[in-house]
């Protein structure tokens, strides 16, 4: 995945920027939590950020503590997707939220189309209460790659010889 989002690429004639791809671990995790995503979600699909989403995202600027925090989080979108603290699925519109803890919780929403295309939708801060509500309703789960790696390390399947 890219280190930071550079929206000046749009000034160079680009209509979209690839933010990277979902890791296979995240795909498997999300399908385990939301089985109907099987066959739609895969790790080979680029997550695209379309130029027209900047204006929509800027509608949330005043929801952040400061303009500096907003622009810092905007640049960090690829990092938030790569290293979220929580993953969430919206129950109605099949979007994935990648939630990261900075000075507060920041949610980056990615739309999953019926064909499996992944498109950046928006970014906005959420409160502790909102995150707790998502977790309590079974819509958000803590994402901890270290725990996932440890689980893989201790999960060894021995096949019989022959």
Domain span holding position 85: 7-154
- The token duo for 143 is 């994402």
pLDDT at 55: 94
DSSP letters, 46-109, are EEEEETTHHHHHHTTGGGSS-HHHHHHHHHTHHHHHHS-SEEEE-TTT-EEEEEEESSSEEEEE
Report in angstroms the alpha-carbon separations of 68 from 30, 72, 130, 150.
32, 6, 23, 37
Determine the straight-line distance between the first and last CA of the chain, rounded to whole angstroms: 41
Judge whether 88 lies within some domain: yes
Judge whether 1 lies within some domain: no
CB atoms within 10 A of CB 62: 8
Judge whether 2 lies within some domain: no
Judge whether 160 lies within some domain: no
Judge whether 64 lies within some domain: yes
The overall average pLDDT reported for the chain is 87
Which regions in the chain score pLDDT beneath 50? 147, 150-162
Q: What domain count does the chain have?
A: 1
pLDDT at 146: 53
pLDDT at 92: 80
Judge whether 27 lies within some domain: yes
Judge whether 159 lies within some domain: no
pTM, rounded to two decimals: 0.86
Judge whether 61 lies within some domain: yes
What dihedral angle (degrees, nearest 10) is formed by the CA atoms of 123, 63, 126, 119? -10
């Amino acid at each position: 995945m890219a280190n930071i989002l550079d929206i000046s690429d749009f000034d160079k004639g680009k209509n979209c920027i690839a933010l990277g791809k979902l890791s296979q671990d995240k795909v498997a995790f999300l399908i385990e939590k939301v089985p109907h995503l099987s066959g739609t979600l895969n790790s080979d699909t680029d997550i695209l950020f379309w130029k027209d989403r900047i204006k929509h995202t800027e509608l949330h600027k005043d929801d952040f503590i400061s303009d500096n925090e907003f622009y810092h989080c905007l640049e960090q979108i690829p990092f938030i997707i790569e290293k979220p603290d929580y993953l969430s699925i919206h129950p109605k519109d099949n979007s994935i939220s990648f939630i990261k803890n900075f000075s507060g919780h920041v949610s980056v929403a990615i739309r999953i189309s019926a064909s499996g295309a992944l498109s950046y939708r928006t970014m906005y801060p959420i409160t502790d209460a909102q995150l707790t509500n998502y977790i309590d309703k079974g819509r958000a789960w803590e994402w901890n790659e270290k725990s996932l790696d440890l689980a893989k390390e201790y999960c060894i399947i021995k096949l019989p010889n022959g």
